[in-house]
Structure 1
């Protein structure tokens, strides 16, 4: 996917980089700032408090671009962002330590690769490094915290921008509201360039035979909303196809490019149960259950 030489992953410099102990020369790492609605209520700024991006690399595979294919356009290799999760505090950590534990990191590594193998759009796992540190966590949210082995997982995605990335500057208003358009321009230019290339329609697809849908009168921002809605709807259908329940469908956990992101208290159905939720904090209302 990234065209990396497997032998390079065993080099000391590479291991130190993937463990978050070294920033490669010429790389300027950064952390995103986003907010979100949690369980139906606005929660303000939420992150990113424990993940930093090392930058972007051009992939070796052509990515799906339905609009370009329908119009006869050529597909081009995607650009992927590499992010380290669990490396410590960022400017947006608030009261948290910015660390990740081995238990949750292993779950994210295994699940993301399994979902990719099942054909579900998802972030991918590049590496998992045990840090040797001990991290205090209340894994079951039952008031019984314990020390857990720490870890850093390197994950890869076409984008780690979330719906909540737009909500935060919009909620703050004033000069920050101008960031919404700047952010939209960046997302459209990088992930939906056909919207700036004169496309006058965007569709919400419900199968291969559905005709083009809603007119956007050439407005790329309306087109962005429709494209994100289409991809998110398609992603939800893919989840139900394999019996996957995300468990935390807050807007800070919803990708702007329609990929599964942030594997927290997820689960898979062992038998059909529309009320199933793997999230113990969601069990009273079951807002994010299977169906």
Structure 2
């Protein structure tokens, strides 16, 4: 991935957490925290999706070097890893700060036709938003994330994509059936790709804190990057923006119904501002 072209528009244009400590904490007046993936024992590249690699301009040939990057063990020049700060309503209740608890964006890649893609590792280790969790993912949930992402895309449903799946060579303890019997499972890291992983909750959190400065910066960033038709100089048509997000979301859910898909955690921290299906794992 050294040969890819990178940009840093998210970390360049939006306010950052001044602390680089990975310890769980409340992060104020920031859209993200600079966060590095935690090294894994023995990354083994199981899958690279050629179609998604092509979007990035990446050679999909599996190599040990590629496994190191997609497993989170190596950061290449141009990458600026971070975990995003957001909140969310979960099952009808405001949950406060949530954030990327086990996802770390490696960076933004300028791919084919100069499209920009956010490249994110899920299961890459703890972040300031991990709360009491370990920041890891298991193989079964990572397989689900990869297979569902690509299946939904090929069914014509708006969705994030999946680039790769890496075994970590480590065990992760999970209570699969939530019955008080945790067991060790193979650990894995899945690499997700999307134009952006911005969610409703990215906007809800600063609004809930009356942090209007951060909220305004995030709204302007989002409109300038993804909804430029609602920008006219210093004027932002936030009503038009809101209406289009609502329309895109309604269309996405209609597409779910068409294929019989049910999202098990359809909370505002899992709702894409671009109307993409997000978070299968």
**Both structures adopt the same fold (TM-score exceeding 0.5):** yes
Q: Which moved more, 1:124-133 or 1:87-96?
A: 87-96
The yes-or-no answer on 1:94 pairing with 2:146 is no
Match of 2:247 in 1: 230
Residue 147 of structure 2, aligned match among 110, 115, 118 = 110
1:182 aligns with 2:234: no
Question: Hey, what does 1:82 align to over in structure 2?
Answer: 119
**Structure 1 vs Structure 2 CA RMSD:** 1.5
TM-score, length-scaled by structure 1: 0.75
Question: How far is the alpha carbon of 1:197 from its aligned partner?
Answer: 4.5
Matched, 1:140 2:177: yes
**1:4 matched to 2:58:** yes
Structure 1 runs (4+) greater than 6 angstroms displaced: none
1:44 to 96, 107, 118: 96
1:158 equivalenced with 2:195 (yes/no):
yes
Q: How far did 1:54 drift?
A: 1.1
Q: Aligned to 1:152, what secondary structure does the other structure show?
A: strand
- The question of whether the paired residues in 1 share the 8 Å contact of 2:122 and 2:189 is answered with yes
Q: Contact 2:78 / 2:107 at 8 angstroms: preserved in 1? A: no
Q: Deviations over 1:8-52 (max 9, x none)?
A: xx2322210100111112322111011100010000111211111
Which ranges in structure 2 are unaligned for 5 or more consecutive residues? Answer: 1-54
Structure with greater strand percent: 2
SS of 1:244 mapped into structure 2: coil
| Displacement after TM superposition at 1:142 (Å) | 2.2
Q: Cα distance, 1:139 vs. partner?
A: 1.8
Cα separation, 2, equivalents of 1:32 and 1:108:
19
Structure 1 residues 14-93: aligned runs within 5 Å: 14-60=66-112, 77-93=114-130
Alpha-carbon separation, structure 2, partners of 1:234 and 1:164: 20
- Aligned position for 2:261: 244
In structure 1, which of residues 242, 257, 261 is the aligned counterpart of residue 274 of structure 2? Answer: 257
Listed one character per residue, the Cα deviations across residues 192-249 of structure 1 (whole Å, up to 9, x for unaligned) are 1111148xxxxxxxxxxxxxxxxxxx75211111111011011001101111001111
Q: Distance in 2 between matches of 1:219 and 1:190?
A: 13
Q: CA deviation at 1:58?
A: 2.4
Contact 2:109 2:117 survives alignment (8 Å) = yes
TM-superposition CA deviations, 1:67-98 (whole Å, max 9, x none): xxxxxxxxxx5321000010110121111110
In the alignment, structure 1 segments of 5+ residues that lack a partner are 62-76, 199-217, 265-291
Aligned residues: 226
Cα offset, 1:152, TM superposition? 0.2
